[in-house]
Amino acid sequence: MTGRPPGWHRPTAYDDLPTALLEELARAGLDPRALHDQVLRALAEDLPGDDLHADATSVATIPAEARDSGVLAAREAGVVAGLGVAALVFHVVLGDAVTVADRVPDGTRVAPGDVVMRVSGPTRGLLTAERTALNYASHLSGVATATSRWVAALEGTRARVLDTRKTLPTFRALQKYAVRCGGGVNHRFGLADRAMVKDNHVVAAGGVGPAYAAVRAAYPHLRVEVEVTDLDELRELLAAGCTEILLDNMDTPTMAEAVRIVAASGRPGVTLEASGGLTLERAREVAETGVDYISVGALTHSVTVFDLGLDLSDLDPADGAGAGAGPGRGA
């Protein structure tokens, strides 16, 4: 990989990205090539046609030869995720002209003011990449931080927090990765890796028992989870041999009774998942019923972005430009 001249304005090809970064993303359970393609689409929202030299404000105000460094820092307490993706964005824009250093591992708990990554390179390129890099890292850190709060609420119980398929289209792998960074557990990734019989399937099949039997007959080796809304349906599924059961919108006493019924059934390996309108304030109460999992769609469908910012040092007056005034605060 060769250095780029100041006027270079095409995004970095996949094969020219740092091998160590691509291997790290793969170990995290992400597809580096698909992520590269996604980053290109994200950059195209700012710069259609892959013209990375078309950042009008930066081109007009910053000399092509100007270089700078800056810090990506937390502005609140939480758990960070997606910093490797942010690093990928800088490399896609700047290739080997950028240096990324002092990046903390995803899943790290941080305090306000903590530096999570440093970048240095051509100033124009840093500012071109800034917002896309922050969008990824702030969003994914928001998912990880929200998950960590549920994990803390469940500490000391047997319950684990699960995500759902209520993810942003095309962001599922990233959001589920962020859930793992926050200490949560992934549920199914799609419709084919596990069968999940919900209320509409039950209606179509004529009951929880027939629905479970139909899935088991069609896919003998596939994991099957079935949603129930009352204890009679729970008993029917236990009799049918179902071992993964979702308790939908049940109050706390009913969930506690469901746990007792499963224990008294003598059936090994049966897991119970609580779901439906659960809040963080109620998390501990639900966990103490003895359920195995609590699924929370809000981890991914109602994300509050984590406050990260990128601040550059002052530009060198010899470059003919003024001071960089904290671009992380801008649009």
Residue type, 313: S
Alpha-carbon gap, residue 273 to 159, rounded angstroms: 9
Residue ranges of domains in the chain: 14-141+307-329, 156-301
Alpha-carbon gap, residue 224 to 235, rounded angstroms: 16
Q: What pLDDT is attached to residue 324?
A: 35
Alpha-carbon gap, residue 129 to 119, rounded angstroms: 11
- To the query of whether residue 194 is one of the catalytic residues in this protein, the response is no
Local confidence pLDDT in tens for the 331 residues of the chain = 444 444 446 899 999 999 999 999 999 999 999 999 999 999 999 988 766 777 889 889 999 899 999 999 999 999 999 999 999 999 999 999 999 999 999 999 999 999 999 999 999 999 999 999 999 999 999 999 999 999 999 999 999 999 999 999 999 999 999 999 999 999 999 999 999 999 999 999 999 999 999 999 999 999 999 999 999 999 999 999 999 999 999 999 999 999 999 999 999 999 999 999 899 999 999 999 999 999 999 999 999 999 999 999 854 444 433 333 333 333 4
Work out the number of other CB atoms within 10 angstroms of the CB of residue 63: 17
Q: What pLDDT is attached to residue 68?
A: 95
Catalytic residue among 67, 75, 166, 188: 166
Alpha-carbon gap, residue 136 to 250, rounded angstroms: 36
Q: The tokens 């903590």 sit on which residue?
A: 114
Alpha-carbon gap, residue 94 to 107, rounded angstroms: 26
Q: Are 48 and 291 in contact (CB under 8 A)?
A: no
Q: How far is CA 163 from CA 34, 146, 248, 262, 273, in A?
A: 22, 11, 15, 24, 11
Catalytic residue among 10, 158, 198, 267: 198
DSSP conformation class of 310: E
CATH fold of the domain at 156-301: TIM Barrel (3.20.20)
- To the query of whether residue 176 is one of the catalytic residues in this protein, the response is no
Domain 14-141+307-329 in this protein, CATH class: alpha beta
Catalytic residue among 55, 248, 273, 292: 248
Catalytic residue among 106, 130, 227, 236: 227
Q: The tokens 């501990």 sit on which residue?
A: 284
Q: What pLDDT is attached to residue 10?
A: 83
